[in-house]
Amino acid sequence: MFSAKGFTLIEVLLVLSLAGILFIVGQGFTLQSLDRKQFQQFYEEFNLDLLYLQQLNISSKSAYTLNFDPIVSKYHIRSSGRGNVVFTRDYPDEWVIEPNTLKLPIKYSKNGTLKNPGTLRIETKYRTYFITCSFGKGRCYSEEK
């Protein structure tokens, strides 16, 4: 007599709740992946900027330094301490970048060695990273904690 050709309300709610749970879980993984990619991009640019700073100090008569400005979420390379800004690079506003054992500003000697090696702590929304700059060639490496 009576033929049902649809879904019950309970079946529809069950499917929608499962889809919502999968969406929420997937969204969390996406944001964490974006955070990791953002740090990787920052790290690559930061290493290139340190190499540029090193080359400036080797090839120039004046000293150049790299310093962070956390109020505006930027770092910049300047000539002679507080001199002219060579360039400025932004980083995400929600990041907290603090020197752990690294003394700021970052300086290189005339022969290209890092004057005060140490570790820089970067806290993003999802992770904490450490960038360690050691003696030697002046290159840095990163660790995720």
Could you tell me what percent of the chain has a pLDDT over 90? 52
Residue 121 · residue 98 · CB < 8 Å? yes
With a cut of 90, say whether residue 73 has pLDDT above it.
yes
- Contact partners, residue 53, CB within 8 Å, separation at least 6: 64, 65, 66, 77, 106, 108
Mean pLDDT within 18-23: 86
pLDDT tier at 92, thresholds 50, 70, 90: very high
Distance CA 145, CA 141 (A): 13
Per-residue pLDDT, 48: 94
Domains contained in the chain, CATH given: 15-144 (3.55.40.10)
pTM: 0.78
In sequence order, the 6+-apart residues with CB closer than 8 A to the CB of 61 are: none
